[in-house]
Amino acid sequence: MRLAEPLQPGAHLNGVLAGFRLGGGGANTAVALAAAGHTVILLAAVGRDAMGDALLVELAAAGVETRWITRLDQPTTHSLILIDPMGERTVVNVARCEDEALPEQLLAIPAEAVYVRSRRCDLGPLLAAKASSAWVVAHLPPLETNVRPAHILVASASDLEPNALQDPLTLGHRISGGQARWMVVTRGAAGASAWSKDAQWEMPAETVQPVDTTGAGDAFAAGLLHALVNDQPLTGALAMAVRFGTEATLWNTSGLPASAVQRLLR
Ligand SMILES: Nc1ncnc2c1ncn2[C@@H]1O[C@H](COP(=O)(O)OP(=O)(O)O)[C@@H](O)[C@H]1O
Ligand SMILES: [Mg+2]
């Protein structure tokens, strides 16, 4: 829904329903990586409903491998997204389709990189095993101890309590069980920051007039992963990630259009 006025508690606002579109952090990142030329396998779950059918068709059309997506007797995950006049988005989750089974296929699928966009807290052993052969990049939350034994943790400042970020390295160390080499925090229009054991980086974003910030963090992740599997150093990867994120704010979609990805890579 596109709001004609800024969000304000208790207010009576006007807006326009803008229809349904593909989304979800996993899907948005997958679509951008497929557009960048990668083979992308999405491990996820959708319902046995029309929305699930539509998402699978749209993902396949974008070049994402959907064979491993399970179908469950639950409504497909969907959210209401409110876009304010500044292009900033507020997400209201309406239904979550959640698979109880662990995605064990992860270990059998050869991959250069694994991006984890999930709230589940029981993936630790699988990720730790995968981390010996692939880059593992995990989005936060969850923030529980030892739940994300990943090489890189990425958090959006807007998802966390301000005091959670007072000591990002200690936070990353705790969540990754000491595995994380880098802790990355995205900060919307302010770009992103990253910390390693012995250095800190700040990567500002270009100033733009956003149309719709939905999926900026997901595009950021795609840029980061693309750069990592192309053996770029962290500073280069961070710069590419910020460019991907900022580009995503200029489109009235949740994922980056393929043409935008191709332009970013030229
Ligand atoms: N208003 C904005 N102007 C410019 N770049 C933005 C803006 N919002 C997001 N971005 C870009 O997208 C990245 C991720 O955005 P952020 O809002 O931090 O994540 P999320 O989508 O998870 O809330 C930022 O690091 C930045 O590069
Ligand atoms: Mg944001």
Radius of gyration of the chain (CA): 18
For residues 103 and 129, is the Cβ–Cβ distance under 8 A? Answer: no
Give the pLDDT of residue 15. Answer: 97
Q: Amino acid letter at 177?
A: G
| 55-82 mean pLDDT | 97
Top mutation candidate among 88, 140, 218, 249 for ligand 1, by most atoms within 8 Å of CB: 249
Q: Could you tell me what percent of the chain has a pLDDT over 70?
A: 100
To which residue do tokens 């030892």 refer? 146
Tens digits of residue pLDDT in 170-204 = 999 999 999 999 999 999 999 999 999 999 999 99
Assess whether pLDDT exceeds 90 at residue 157.
Answer: yes
Cα 128 to chain centroid distance, Å, stands at 20
Top mutation candidate among 206, 225, 246 for ligand 1, by most atoms within 8 Å of CB: 246
- Going by CA atoms, what residue is nearest to atom 27 of ligand 1? 242
Pocket of ligand 1 (CB under 6 A): 156, 158, 186-189, 191-192, 205, 208, 210, 213, 216-217, 220, 242, 245-246, 249
| 227-240 mean pLDDT | 96
28: nearest Cα among 264, 266, 249: 249
Q: How many CB atoms lie within 10 A of CB 92?
A: 9
Give the pLDDT of residue 145. Answer: 97
Domains of the chain as residue ranges with CATH: 2-7+15-265 (3.40.1190.20)
The Å distance, Cα 28 to ligand 2 centre, comes to 14
Give the CA dihedral 161, 172, 256, 47, nearest 10 degrees: -80
Task: Give the span between the Cα atoms of 247 and 239, in whole angstroms.
Answer: 12
Assess whether pLDDT exceeds 90 at residue 164.
Answer: no
Residues with CB under 5 A from ligand 2 (ion): 188, 213
Q: Which residues pair with 152 in a beta bridge?
A: 137, 182
Give the pLDDT of residue 165. Answer: 86
Look at the chain and count its residues: 266
